[in-house]
Every structure is written in structure tokens, then in C-alpha cells.
Amino acid sequence: MIDISKAGTFKLGGHSVQRIGYGAMQLAGPGVFGPPKDRDGAIAVLREAVANGVNHIDTSDFYGPHVTNQIIREALHPYPSDLVIVTKIGARRGADASWNPAFSADELTTAVHDNLRNLGLETLDIVNLRSMFGIHGPAEGSLEAPLTALAELQRQGLVRHIGLSNVTPAQIAEGHTICEIVCVQNLYNIAHRDDDALIDDLARDGIAYVPFFPLGGFTPLQSAELSGVAQELHATPMQVALAWLLQRAPNMLLIPGTSSVRHLRENLDAANLTLPAEALRALNHIANSHAPH
Ligand SMILES: NC(=O)c1ccc[n+]([C@@H]2O[C@H](COP(=O)([O-])OP(=O)(O)OC[C@H]3O[C@@H](n4cnc5c(N)ncnc54)[C@H](OP(=O)(O)O)[C@@H]3O)[C@@H](O)[C@H]2O)c1
């Protein structure tokens, strides 16, 4: 057993969750499309995560599509009472694996029902509305219509809490005028720190910040500084990247993704790594060296 409790907990929606969770996107096939090569392996990863105390899993019915949620259900249903499954809606996959906006009230309603059916739930704990104004990063545009539709599904009892993903501060402010926003999920890691100010604002408001691509995503992070610090601390570069996020802000909840039990254990053990001040100083250079010139 790996003790992940040292990383602490944070309130997400109505629940207190461990600050190290798990992101399930890597459990679908290549390009997050179709079934995985090793379905039993995917089930083993999910069971290992929960066995080690993970009680926050991030997913979407557009991973696969449907595949990842069906694997979560097969691996973990009936779910432990403390498990918070966070899903996201707002996109649909084309037959060519493309990611397309799906923001109409009808599409959002279908997406909620798809998630309920494939996860085997009567109510979704938390649903993130994933903005598709920009596919690869936040872009301005009003979320009023889709968020109002999602808030209506919340009123109907199909959704407990609402979050936002791939959004700007202006969109979060707009969101607060429509419904309570309990979490924000944007791209952020030790090398990509556009949301530094936003994270501090959300921390002040008690809102969870859940970075996606915490390890760099499809191309995991690589840097001399990261490797150097990892060597000094007898840790791995990925553990250092996760420990850095944990130390960055108290409202930071991690959902590193992996299809490997070995990587999962390595990532969970980042809860037990404390970065000394000189390591933090060295690691700050990573963001600076990635800053736009
Ligand atoms: N809201 C959004 O728009 C959005 C977008 C993307 C992702 N997400 C969510 O965020 C979660 C995390 O993002 P992610 O999974 O894409 O990226 P990530 O966590 O940054 O990195 C995953 C990649 O790192 C590798 N990896 C993981 N642990 C490793 C380790 N210890 N050593 C070496 N390589 C390791 C994985 O490969 P292996 O499988 O080989 O370990 C995979 O290629 C997703 O699972 C998903 O739930 C949300």
C-alpha cells in the first residue's frame, strides 16, 4: 500500500477527496479512441488506484467514446461510497476520432444520460462543461447558453455539482452568475504556467483547480532541471513534477493519467515527496525556459 494521505485532502463538491487522484483518459485506445490493447490491464490500474486510497477519478464519455466509462464501471461498480467521479461534457467524437463541439441543450442532455448509463449511476457527482471555443487552450466566448442547460440538468437531479474546463477567468466569472462552480480544469504543469494568477484567485475562493496534462500529456515532461532535482532527491522526474504541483497551491488536485500499474504507483508515491526550497528554485527555471520569447 502506498500512503497517499500525506498530500492531504481538499473539498471537491460536497466531498473531501485525497489531493492525488487519477485521470482515466489513458485507458482508451490510441488517440483516446476505441478500446485499449489491454482491457484487463486498464481494469487493474483502476482497482490499484482505489486500493491505494484514490477517491477522485476524472473521466469523460467522449474518451473512447464510451469505452473509458464502461471500463470504470466494470472495474469499480458498485462504487466505494467515498469515490467522486468527475466527468466532462461539451464535445463529441467524429468517426475519424476528431473532437467536435457539442454544446446544444440536446447534445448536453444526451451526454449526461450517456455518462449516467455507461458509469452505472443515477446522479453524476460533478460534471465539467468543457469549453470548445479553443480546442487546445481557453478562448473567449460566452458559456451562458450551455451552462444554463447544464444547470437545468442539475435542477432535475441528474448532476450534483458543476465545474468548468479549458476556460478563461472571464468565463469563470460568467459561470458564477449562472450556478455554483466547484472546480476548474485547465492545462497546467511545471512547464506551462499560464494559470498562475487564476490558481491563487481560486484558492482564495476555496475552488478546486485540477490541472490536466500534469505530466505534460501525450509528450511527458522532460528537462535537465527536472532530472537533476529528481536525481538529488532519489525520486523520478514525474514524481518531482507532481510534488511540485502539490506544493504549488492547497486547492491543486492531481489527476495524472497512466495505463500502467507501475507508473500509477510511482505517481501516487509523489504524495510522500517534499521538495526543499533549493529544489523549488531550480524547478522555477523550467517555466522560465518555456516562456514565450
Ligand atoms: N479537460 C480537458 O480538456 C482534458 C484534456 C486532457 C486530459 N484531461 C484529463 O486529465 C488527465 C491527465 O492528463 P493526461 O492523462 O492526458 O496526461 P498526463 O497525466 O500529463 O500524462 C499522461 C502521460 O504520461 C505518461 N506517464 C504517466 N505516468 C508516468 C510515469 N510515472 N513515468 C513515465 N510516464 C508516465 C502516460 O503514459 P503511460 O500510460 O505509459 O504511463 C501518458 O503518456 C486525463 O487522464 C484526463 O482525465 C482533461
Tell whether ligand 1 has an atom less than 6 A from the beta carbon of residue 228: no
Q: Is the pLDDT of residue 100 over 60?
A: yes
Q: Is the CB of 266 under 6 A from ligand 1?
A: yes
User: Torsion-angle region of residue 166: left (phi > 0), alpha (psi -120 to 50) or beta?
Assistant: left
Q: Is residue 289 part of a domain?
A: no
68 ligand 1 Cβ < 6 A: no
Mean pLDDT of the chain: 96
> Residue 49 contacts by C-beta under 8 Å, 6 or more apart in sequence?
22, 57, 264, 268
In a domain, 45, yes or no: yes
Q: CATH number for the domain including 164?
A: 3.20.20.100
Tens digits of residue pLDDT in 32-81: 999 999 999 999 999 999 999 999 999 999 999 999 999 999 999 999 99
Q: pLDDT per residue over 250-280, tens digit each?
A: 999 999 999 999 999 999 999 999 999 999 9
Question: Going by CA atoms, what residue is nearest to atom 31 of ligand 1?
Answer: 263
Would you say the CB of residue 220 lies under 6 angstroms from ligand 1?
yes
- Looking at residue 289, its pLDDT comes to 59
Domain that holds residue 136: 7-222+248-273
Q: Is residue 290 part of a domain?
A: no
* Contact present, 108 and 128 (Cβ < 8 Å): no
Catalytic site residue from 63, 79, 188, 209: 63
136 assigned to some structural domain: yes
**From residue 43, how far is each of 11, 69, 80, 251 by CA, in Å?**
27, 11, 15, 29
Asked whether residue 239 is domain-assigned, the answer is no
Tally of structural domains, the chain: 1
The predicted-structure confidence for 122-132, as pLDDT tens digits, reads as follows 999 999 999 99
Question: What is the CA(156)–ligand 1 centre distance, in A?
Answer: 33
Q: Rounded to 5 degrees, what angle do the CA atoms 145, 149, 153 make?
A: 165
Residue from 2, 22, 26, 183 to probe ligand 1 pocket by mutation (most atoms less than 8 Å from CB): 26
79 part of the active site: no
pTM here? 0.97
Contact 63, 25 (CB under 8 A): yes
Assess if residue 288 is contained within a domain.
no
pLDDT (mean) for 212-241 = 95
Q: Atom 17 (ligand 1): residue with closest C-alpha?
A: 217
Quick check: is 238 in a domain? no
Q: Does any domain span residue 230? A: no
